[in-house]
Amino acid sequence: MIEKMKMVCVVSSVSRKDEMLDGLRSLGLLHLAEKKSPDRAVAERFTTLSKTAATLTDYAPDKKNKKKEPVPVLSDSEFEEMYQNVLATLDKKASLEQEISAANAEIERIKAWGNFSPEDVKRVKEDGYDLHFYRLGKNEYQMALQDPEIKMIALTPIDKMHTVAVLGALPVTIPATEFTLPEKGIDELTAQIESCQTEIGTCEETLKKSSIYDTSFQVQMLKAQNAENYSSASETAENDEDFVWISGYLPEADLPKFKAAATEHKWAWAMDDVSEDDTEIPTKVKYGKVSGLIQPVFDILGILPGYRESDISLWFFLFFTLFFAMIIGDAGYGCLILIATIALVAKTKKFNTTTYLLLVLSIATIVWGAVTGTWFGMEKAMHVPFLKALVIPQFANYPDYFGVSATTQQNAIMKFSFTIGAIQMALGSLISIKKKLSEKNLSWVADLGWLVAVIGMYLLSLYLVIGQKLNIVPVFAMVGVAFILVVLFGGMSPDKTFGQGLKSGVADAFTVFLNTISCFGNVMSYIRLFAVGMAGFAISQSFNGIAAGFHGPLIILGVVVVLIGHGLNIIMCFLSVVVHGVRLNVLEFSGQAGLEWTGIAYEPFKVNEKIKK
């Protein structure tokens, strides 16, 4: 259920601004209607801490060699001292690395001229000999030789170019590249690099010692993020000479708590219903014990229904569970997921929503795999009487054991897939109808038309794909009636007259025609449940067949093939759940229910207990 929201404005005196913000943060119920940027220094604190903590992970000791003694969490003053030392050390290390880079570049520039002392050359210049060094091409060198005014000494050639020392500068008429005398020679630069490397080693030791305080960094990052949120709220609050106020959204169910806090802190406040044209209302979903199991999937996908949209979490969970089971399709894989989940619970010694979801999904997979007779793709599983007794013959992946033809079995699974799809899409239409009836929106008749269209397209799919015998004329009649209903009532809305709505709907007739064709495609798309499940089954059989070809000492290689093959197949099946199982819920089903997943997460102003990414 999506909880109803109220718009609340809290007012206090300017002198009690901090007290008001502290009280609202402790209450932790008000989702600020507007959020301004926090103070720059406060915001940069979290960013710098985060970057520094990430950098220190490169210096953290190997977990295998890490001491088991717990590392104490530093106090604020102790952490700040350590943190500033780390920042200074990182700056120093970066400066030393730049110094090494510059020295290496200088060595690369001058090494062709040999290992000489720049001080010796400077002393020669101080004695009155203004020496300049050049690299000359063949023609330029000949020009210099022929000029009696030029006094030069030929040096060892560099890169097949003439190298000369000239007393005084060459005239501009002779193009040449002059060698800039370095401040230090190669020996000095090499010593400088070695000194820098030694200092870098000292810096790295400091960083290694600080890297063990990762928990302290997490604590300080959380404090910094809370300070950032507080600063944002402080910047958002408006005031005049006497009063300060801040507005936000409050769940209607939490009004008693808010009123009690307002009385305790002596706040003045005003409340109103949210505006009909307000698009920034946050969504707070109140999950049930069953529907709440789907929350981890919503969090991973980053989807949330809009405030004015329907809550389909329960239906999403039920259909997702079925789709997961059909796509994974193997009871053996389901057992592995179940064992892994139990092992996780045993290790962490706690249950959470994710582990409960995995337990349900694994059990559903085992049930589906059992009724289809699929246990790691092994045909010999049907030689076990108990496992064979669990199979529904029409769904059996080894139909020969039950006197059922392969065609009959495939048609039964495809029909089941189409039926599930039609039920889900029809349910989506009913959800939309219910919502629009409560809003007195006449366009619910168009959704009724889509419901009729879904049924018609379902029958048409059975007729075209599995060759089910039926009178096709009434089916086309149903689709025609559905098309007319959608055209006539699709443009209706509470803010339009009947005539305006009719005109709007007729204007979109061609779009409705295309959407009707798309409806057939949506129903047909549920065949992917059959196709993807069969693909996974075929892959597991293939690896089993490959492994069966190894005998004698090579049987070990066969075991490796089975383990790797089934491991890859499980991974691909999980990817298929994301690609196909989620898509059917988020697109086909949600489209019929009128969901666009435009929700803004309800994030009240409060002290966070963990860092928000």
| pLDDT tens, position by position, 66-112 | 556 788 899 999 999 999 999 999 999 999 999 999 999 999 888 88
The token pair that represents 216 in the structure block? 């302290």
- Please state, as a whole number, how many other Cβ atoms lie within 10 Å of the Cβ of residue 69: 7
CA 73 to chain centre: 30
In this predicted structure, the answer to whether residue 294 has a pLDDT above a threshold of 60 is yes
Q: Which of 316, 369, 364, 359 is nearest to 338 (CA)?
A: 359
561 in Cβ contact with 546 (< 8 Å): yes
In this predicted structure, the answer to whether residue 327 has a pLDDT above a threshold of 90 is yes
CA 383 to chain centre: 45
Residue with tokens 């999980």: 574
| pTM assigned to the model | 0.82
Whole-angstrom distance, CA of residue 409 vs CA of residue 406: 5
Q: In what order do the strands lie in the sheet containing 152-158?
A: 152-158, 161-167, 131-136, 177-178
In this predicted structure, the answer to whether residue 240 has a pLDDT above a threshold of 80 is yes
Lowest-pLDDT choice from 1-10, 125-134, 319-328, 490-499: 125-134
pLDDT (0 to 100) of residue 126: 82
Which long-range CB contacts under 8 A does 276-280 form with residues at least 24 apart?
Answer: 278/7, 280/33, 280/600
pLDDT (0 to 100) of residue 66: 53
Instruction: Return the beta strands (E) in 66-145 as ranges.
Output: 131-136
Higher pLDDT, 350 or 243: 243
108 in Cβ contact with 100 (< 8 Å): no
Percentage, residues of the chain above pLDDT 90: 75
The token pair that represents 458 in the structure block? 């379902």
Residue range 124-149: average pLDDT?
A: 86
Radius of gyration in angstroms for the set of CA atoms belonging to the chain, rounded to a whole number: 38
399 in Cβ contact with 409 (< 8 Å): yes
Residue with tokens 């295309």: 514
Whole-angstrom distance, CA of residue 180 vs CA of residue 166: 13
Q: How far apart are the first and last CA of the chain?
A: 26
Q: How far is CA 428 from CA 79, 307, 594, in A?
A: 55, 18, 8
pLDDT (0 to 100) of residue 121: 83
pLDDT confidence bin for 549, thresholds 50/70/90: confident
Residues 6 or more apart whose CB falls under 8 angstroms from that of 166 comprise 131, 132, 133, 134, 144, 150, 151, 152
Residue range 393-421: average pLDDT?
A: 95
Q: Which of 245, 279, 237 is nearest to 262 (CA)?
A: 245
Residue range 105-134: average pLDDT?
A: 85
The token pair that represents 364 in the structure block? 């559903």
Whole-angstrom distance, CA of residue 397 vs CA of residue 412: 11
In this predicted structure, the answer to whether residue 380 has a pLDDT above a threshold of 70 is yes
In this predicted structure, the answer to whether residue 120 has a pLDDT above a threshold of 90 is no
pLDDT (0 to 100) of residue 613: 66
pLDDT (0 to 100) of residue 421: 95
In this predicted structure, the answer to whether residue 445 has a pLDDT above a threshold of 80 is yes
Within 13 Å of residue 557, how many CA atoms lie on the same side as its CB?
7
Which long-range CB contacts under 8 A does 287-295 form with residues at least 24 apart?
Answer: 287/313, 288/1, 288/314, 290/314, 290/317, 291/316, 291/317, 292/353, 293/317, 293/353, 293/356, 293/357, 293/360, 294/320, 294/357, 295/353
CA 315 to chain centre: 24
Residue range 503-527: average pLDDT?
A: 93
118 in Cβ contact with 183 (< 8 Å): yes
Residue range 204-209: average pLDDT?
A: 94
Average pLDDT, the chain: 92
pLDDT (0 to 100) of residue 40: 92
